[in-house]
Amino acid sequence: MERNLTHIALFAALIAVLSLVPKIDLISGVPITAQSLGIMLCGTVLGAKRGAAAVLLFLALVALGLPLLSGGRGGIGVFMGPSVGYLVGFPVAAFVAGLVVERWRAPIGVAAFAGAVLGGILLLSAFGIVGLRAYSVLIAEGVADAKTFTWVQAVAAATPFLIGDTIKAVLAGAITQSLARLRPDSVLSRA
């Protein structure tokens, strides 16, 4: 019980620290960071439920005003920006990544990479795209002549992340494998 709690809390802190890797802002206003590596690791190392809990804990503290998000952003304002879809998708991404590692009995590095791709790239991008489109519709609602993102444009805005995300999924697989070798009892997704 205590162990579950401290692992969830420490990995929430790990997401925050990984977000300090220098970031580049894309033209769509959604930044590139190692934050998604933290999200993937929460799932692949802690497992589905605990991984999602760690991400939710992280998001709760961001909402309360801690500047833990990439670029030192925080507060409820970030949930009112165009990248809100990614924020909503974070816990789901960690859950799915963890589920793959728990259920698929392949070598842990392979399973972690597959989980990171499925949850941390495919699913998370889908959330980001739907979020971007929904946000542009909501913010333009009722304004005459206002434009909204088409689906094609929303997909185009999310595409530049895929290169970095693929690198991060490989890293997530490698790091999870190393952790499983160094601390077999602490990798709760396979414990």
Partner 1 sequence: MLTLISPTETPLHRMPACLKLGAVAAGTVLALRVTSLPGTAGLLAGLGLTLLALGPGFARQAGQHLLALWPVVAIILIWHGWSGHWTAGAVVAGRMVFAIGLATLMTMTTRLADLLALAERGLAPLARLGMNPRAIALAMALVIRFTPVLLDKAAALRQAWQARSPKRPRTAIALPLALAALDDADHVAEALRARGGL
147 binds partner 1 (CB under 8 A): yes
| Minimum separation from the CB atom of position 13 to partner 1 (A) | 4
**Residue from the set 2, 24, 105, 152 that interacts with partner 1 by CB under 8 A:** 2
Question: Is residue 42 within 8 Å of 54, Cβ to Cβ?
Answer: yes
| Minimum separation from the CB atom of position 122 to partner 1 (A) | 21
27 binds partner 1 (CB under 8 A): yes
**Residue from the set 59, 92, 175, 189 that interacts with partner 1 by CB under 8 A:** 175
| Minimum separation from the CB atom of position 65 to partner 1 (A) | 4
Which residue, 114, 113, 89, 111, is CA-closest to 101?
A: 111
Which residue, 167, 180, 162, 45, is CA-closest to 107?
A: 180
60 binds partner 1 (CB under 8 A): yes
Q: Which residues bind partner 1 (CB under 8 A)?
A: 1-3, 5-14, 16-18, 20-21, 25, 27-29, 34, 37, 41, 45, 57-58, 60-61, 64-68, 71, 73-77, 79-82, 138-147, 171, 174-175, 178-179, 182-183, 186-187
